[in-house]
């Protein structure tokens, strides 16, 4: 029985997958999120500002799905940790993806004069579960 909206701990383990993306890349695979995992957080750390003439955005999604399934396009024109203001939290719900592994991806999009600089590290934190989660 839950008390005061408490959630029962179901013995999950938090894991992380991480990669970097540069201004010379379009889409990079972050890593594999196992079936029936829950995304806990996504960190996008811009280490060097992307400097395309008009638009510099990063989005996090998965192979075979939307490039912005987990985080829609967020500006990467300034250094620092980007907030999850464009996170698609409904896609982070428990047991997503259900019954199949997916490869998380990060995509760089630019418009205007081509970028000559830019580098970011993307980390997806997810929780796996042991046993039945129902």
For 13, residues 6+ apart whose C-beta sits below 8 A from its C-beta are 127, 128, 130
The pTM (predicted TM-score) of the whole model is: 0.83
CB 119 within 8 A of CB 82: no
pLDDT recorded at residue 47: 98
pLDDT recorded at residue 20: 98
pLDDT recorded at residue 127: 87
Structural domains of the chain, ranges and CATH numbers in brackets: 13-128 (2.60.120)
Distance, in Å, from the CA atom of 28 to the CA atom of 19, rounded to the nearest integer, reads: 8
pLDDT recorded at residue 6: 54
pLDDT tens digit at each of 134 positions of the chain: 445 555 555 557 889 999 999 999 999 999 999 888 888 899 999 999 999 999 999 999 998 888 988 999 999 999 999 866 666 766 766 656 678 899 999 999 999 999 999 999 999 999 887 554 44
What pairing do the DSSP bridges indicate for beta strands 80-82 and 38-48?
antiparallel
DSSP string, the chain: --STT-------EEEEEEEEEETT-SEEEEEEEPTT-EEEEEEEEEEE----SSEEEEEEEETTS-TTSSEEEEE-SS-EEEPSTTB-GGGGSTT-S-SS-EEEEEEEEEESSPPS--EEEEEEEEEE--S---
For 84, residues 6+ apart whose C-beta sits below 8 A from its C-beta are 41, 42, 71
């Amino acid at each position: 029985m839950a008390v005061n909206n408490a959630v029962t701990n179901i013995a999950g383990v938090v894991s992380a997958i991480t990669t970097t993306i540069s201004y010379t890349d379009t889409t990079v695979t972050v890593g594999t999120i196992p079936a029936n995992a829950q995304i806990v957080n996504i960190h996008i750390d811009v280490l060097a500002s992307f400097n395309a003439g008009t638009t510099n955005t990063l989005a996090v999604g998965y192979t075979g799905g939307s490039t912005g399934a987990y985080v829609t396009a967020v500006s990467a024109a300034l250094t620092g940790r980007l907030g999850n203001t464009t996170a698609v939290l409904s896609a982070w719900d428990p047991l997503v993806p259900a019954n199949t592994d997916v490869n998380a991806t990060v995509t760089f999009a630019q418009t205007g004069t081509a970028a000559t600089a830019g580098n970011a590290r993307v980390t997806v934190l997810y929780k796996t579960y042991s046993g039945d989660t129902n």
